[in-house]
Structure 1
Amino acid sequence: MARRRQFRFLTTLGIGAAALALTFTGIAPATATASQTKTQSKVTDYVNLGDSYSAGFGSGTLTQNPMMPPGCLQGSGPTHVTALDARPRVNLTANAACAGLTTVQIAGTVPLLTPYLAGAELVTLTLGANDLDIRGLVTACSTLGSDAACDGALRLGNLAIPTIGASAHQTLRTLDAATRGKILVLGYPRLFTTSNGDQQFITAKRATQLNRLGDALNLAIKKATKRTSAKFVSVTGAFNNHGLGANKPWIYFNQVLPAGLNDPFNLHPTATGYLKGYYPAVKRHL
């Protein structure tokens, strides 16, 4: 993937929920894959759903999810999901993750996945980030914004956290009722590494404030798993010193034209981030 990873902040965490315009009707059965021919005596059936972090944005190229209606987009490259499916006794029966989905929209996919979830022994997802105005936050808090705009955006973001947590909890209750499998709710990494000081388009102070908002979101999602069978899996430690601004970032950012600032993969893990950050975190819970 010939894209340069540099640091500017005028993008979103995915394609936007409105742009998806998914109807979620008539989901096609998962196509047969080599993983379905595994002959081990005990195979773990696996379902993945959620937003762009579950859909692998940042790895490979943009692709239509073949299982879902048009507009459900994923990354085509290696991720924790593909790594799990490659394990000898794991069979990915459904991958219904779509970039841009909110907590409510993810809940809307659950009834349509009933045949897969009923037999699943493992379920993974990410949820909650699209309920925040990420584009507004990163734009307002970059050097292209202003102190007043950033302070206002951060205030609104923090005010939204309890509502997002409550919505995530309702989604997890819906998912919990649909499966007896182990549900792993994966958190989000801190987007910025601030130890190297100010970056070209954001100060260390503002990057730290955005990281704290991300921490608050993760905490709300962790609390949302209470009174469900879901387990929260943090990736914060795995991504330490690998955010934007690090010497070896695991977060994708592209300012090269023509995709440039509008590259939908921006602010997502790279393939390395998925395989070295997310995959080991999930594998520990298998």
Structure 2
Amino acid sequence: MARKRQFRFLATLGIGAAALALTFTGITPASATVPTTKTHVKVIDYVNLGDSYSAGFGSGTVTSGPMAGCLQGSGPTHVTKLDARPRVDLTINAACAGATTADIAASLPLLAPYLAGAELVTLTLGANDLDIKGLVMACSTLGTDAACDFALQQGALAVPYVGASAHQTLSMLDAATPGKILVLGYPRLFTTTNGDQPLITASRATQLNQLGDALNQSIKDATQLTDAKFVSVTSPFNSHGLGADTPWIYFNQADLVDPFNLHPTTSGYLFGYYPAVVRQL
């Protein structure tokens, strides 16, 4: 990255950084180099990368991914629904909760055989380079105005560095695969039309949404000069953030360290992310 990463999202996941180390042992990539057909019909070889939003946190339960130290959600997501399509073959799901832009970049050489044969790659990246959990807690009713103002200021300062690191990772990914790369954005966490919430006031929620919009714009800008395409999910989630009548964002107020907190629910993945991806195919 362009600077030492000070902004981490690991606290949100409730697990230590050591447990999130991406040790890609036990992968047997040879099968990915063989063209896949189903009843003599060309199939889209599909690779999924990224952080917890790509790993399905918020749906099902926490489960181990295909690599040591990699954690994913076990429930239905846009990734599983894509894989269920008759002409799509998910060759590997290498998304891991807690992965930063640099972590994803470090994994690319190990995934090279899969990426070389991929025709579609999806990923989310960037949120783990910010302390989203800390931002929300500082700006919640559990925090103070001074703590929130400082956290928002630091978050805004970090966004350009996140974008620069994301661009470096996406450039490496673009060089590693001939496939179509879809960089999925993040939803706004809060719906503010119903006013203040027990966790957060509407004004603070709006400020956090604005910071999220800045992060999305930075990630979109990071796709420039690459073949990657940014796919926004802001619109479908607008009426389904925390505070909405039917939220698509999970938050367990009884357990502030629940690893699924601030992630999409199963509905968010299936009705927010999945349609956004399918429109690009």
Distance 1:184 1:17 in 2: 29
Aligned to 1:22: 21
Secondary structure of 2:234 counterpart: coil
Secondary structure of 2:244 counterpart: coil
> Closer, same or farther in 2 for the Cα pair 1:267/1:19, shift >3 Å?
farther
Alignment of 1:60-139 (within 5 A): 60-65=60-65, 67-69=66-68, 71-139=69-137
Counterpart amino acid of 2:273? Y
Q: CA deviation at 1:25?
A: 4.0
Q: Identify which of 245, 259, 278 aligns with 1:283.
A: 278
Aligned to 2:266: 271
Distance 2:16 2:100 in 1: 7
Q: CA deviation at 1:21?
A: 4.3
Q: CA deviation at 1:40?
A: 4.6
Q: CA deviation at 1:133?
A: 0.8
Distance 2:158 2:244 in 1: 29
Distance 1:149 1:195 in 2: 25
Distance 1:281 1:205 in 2: 29
Secondary structure of 1:262 counterpart: coil
Q: Identify which of 256, 261, 268 aligns with 1:261.
A: 256
Q: Give the total of aligned pairs.
A: 269
Contact 1:243–1:251 (CA under 8 A) maintained in structure 2: yes
Alignment of 1:1-286 (within 5 A): 12-15=11-14, 18-29=17-28, 38-65=38-65, 67-69=66-68, 71-256=69-254, 260-286=255-281
The CA deviation string for residues 164-221 of structure 1, in whole angstroms up to 9 with x for no partner, is 0000000000100100000000000000000000000200000000000000000000
Contact 1:57–1:265 (CA under 8 A) maintained in structure 2: yes
Identity percentage over the alignment? 72
Q: CA deviation at 1:49?
A: 0.5
Contact 2:188–2:241 (CA under 8 A) maintained in structure 1: yes
Distance 1:91 1:76 in 2: 18
Counterpart amino acid of 2:257? N
Calculate the aligned-residue CA RMSD, in Å: 1.9
TM-score for the superposition, normalised by structure 1:
0.90
Counterpart amino acid of 2:173? L
Secondary structure of 2:76 counterpart: coil
Distance 2:40 2:136 in 1: 47
Of the structure 1 ranges 98-107 and 15-24, higher mean CA displacement relative to structure 2 is found in: 15-24
> Closer, same or farther in 2 for the Cα pair 1:176/1:243, shift >3 Å?
same
Distance 2:20 2:222 in 1: 27
Distance 2:262 2:223 in 1: 25
Distance 1:275 1:12 in 2: 26
Structure 1: any 5+ residue segments left out of the alignment? 1-10
TM-score for the superposition, normalised by structure 2:
0.92
Distance 1:174 1:184 in 2: 14
Q: CA deviation at 1:20?
A: 2.7
Q: CA deviation at 1:253?
A: 1.0
Counterpart amino acid of 1:141? C
Counterpart amino acid of 2:271? K
Distance 2:206 2:20 in 1: 34
Distance 1:18 1:242 in 2: 31
The CA deviation string for residues 23-47 of structure 1, in whole angstroms up to 9 with x for no partner, is 5343412799xxx773251100000
Structure 2: any 5+ residue segments left out of the alignment? 1-9
Contact 2:181–2:228 (CA under 8 A) maintained in structure 1: yes
Distance 1:78 1:23 in 2: 23
Distance 1:213 1:27 in 2: 39
